[in-house]
Structure 1
Amino acid sequence: MFSEAELLAVFRALSNPARRQILVWLKEPMSFPGQEPEDVEIGVCVTDIQQRAGLGQSTTSQYLAILRQAGLVIATRRGKWTYYRRDEANIARLLDALRDVF
């Protein structure tokens, strides 16, 4: 079950259209140029997300940090690069919790 603070973090993260769009894009990681099938395991590079979103590097990083803190994405560091993928298990838990409430 999600605490009130956890739900507030999720709703805050989802209140921004760009962050919602990033989550939609991450649902199909192979839609990003240059993605290889083996990349799906670690996610999409923040640079690729930034380019698709048309946002600055700091804004993109901030948005991804908010999504991570809300438990919606998982970050994986490889060298100097950070990759993001959706946390499907936590998203499923969230949807179940919302079904219980509504």
Structure 2
Amino acid sequence: MSFTRLNILLWLKEPEKNFKEFGWAPYLTEPEFINSVCVYHIQLKTGNSQSTTSENLSILEKAGLLQSKKVAVWTLYQRNEKVIKEFSEWIGNVL
């Protein structure tokens, strides 16, 4: 896993802290997406291009580590805590 993708996962763990500088606030009132962050804010935080950011987010989503939701023209991302917990437990058992 790249450091950028690892950082994205870490940042999304506490979006109110890690995206505050970009004006982060909950976009949705749905409890399951209350901590989602738009691609643009993630792009600003990484310092990468939009296409590179989208590629990294796509890889994390395909791995099941992120969930996305399309709202109008924005795509919002957040961690898939269930899968991250299962993966963490699996790593702990294997290593």
Whether TM exceeds 0.5 here: the answer is: yes
- Which of 3, 11, 24 does residue 35 from structure 1 map onto? 24
Tell me how many residue pairs correspond in the alignment: 88
Higher relative contact order (CA 8 A, sep 6+): 1
The residue matched to 2:78 in structure 1 has which SS? strand
Residue 80 of structure 2 aligns with which residue?
87
Q: Distance in 1 between matches of 2:52 and 2:90?
A: 30
Q: TM-score when scaled to structure 1?
A: 0.79
Residues 74/43 of structure 1: CA separation in 2 closer, same or farther (3 Å cut): same
Q: RMSD value over aligned CA atoms?
A: 1.5
TM (normalized to structure 2)? 0.84
Q: 5+ residue gaps in structure 2?
A: none
Aligned residue runs from structure 1 range 1-102, under 5 A: 15-31=1-17, 32=19, 33-37=22-26, 39=28, 41=34, 43-102=36-95
Separation in 1 of the partners of 2:68 and 2:26? Answer: 18
Read off the aligned partner of 2:25 and give its amino acid letter.
E
Q: Identity, % of aligned pairs?
A: 40
Q: Structure 1 stretches (4+) deviating beyond 3 angstroms?
A: 37-40
Unaligned runs of 5+ in 1: 1-14
Partner of 2:64, secondary structure, is coil
Whichever residue aligns with residue 73 of structure 1, its letter is: L
